[in-house]
Amino acid sequence: MQHRDLVVVFEDDPHLRPLLERWLGEAGYSVTPQFPDGDTRPVLVIADVRDPQGADVPIRALQEYRVAILVMSARFRRGLAGSAETARRLGVQAVLPKPFTRAELLTAVRDAIAGTE
């Protein structure tokens, strides 16, 4: 995969952030910690939310960019049905429960991007 689609990653954990950057980079994505200036438009925003119940305001702010959103949290339950319902309720393309594997991350990224096409 050599497409170099841009993904914005908002993750404060100093151990997880480099891992996300490496996994996404190895999968062919370009990663940045902030929205780019100019005409460059990301295909996805990945954001960590500590409390999904109180995530409405930051998610609404991200939705203004009109880009696919994947939120991750240690408070999400595992399982596809619960994740789909949670994503719908939050108004995002996908959710990813922590901890997750590389394969789970990349599947969630592909699904989130495909959900906006």
What residue segments make up the domains of the chain, in order of their start? 6-114
**Using 50, 70 and 90 to split pLDDT, how confident is the model at 19?**
very high
Level-2 CATH architecture, domain 6-114: 3-Layer(aba) Sandwich (3.40)
Instruction: Provide the CB-side half-sphere exposure for 58 (13 A, CA).
Output: 15
Cα 117 to its chain centre, rounded Å, is 16
* Mean pLDDT rounded to a whole number for the chain: 86
Residues 42-56 have a mean pLDDT of 87
The number of helix segments (H) and strand segments (E) in the chain equals: 4, 5
Q: Is pLDDT above 50 for 2?
A: no
- For 93-113, the pLDDT digits (tens) are 988 989 999 999 999 999 899
Do residues 80 and 105 make contact, with C-beta atoms less than 8 angstroms apart?
Answer: no
Q: In angstroms, rounded to a whole number, what is the distance separating the alpha carbons of residues 69 and 33? A: 14
What is the number of other CB atoms lying within 10 angstroms of the CB of residue 2?
A: 4
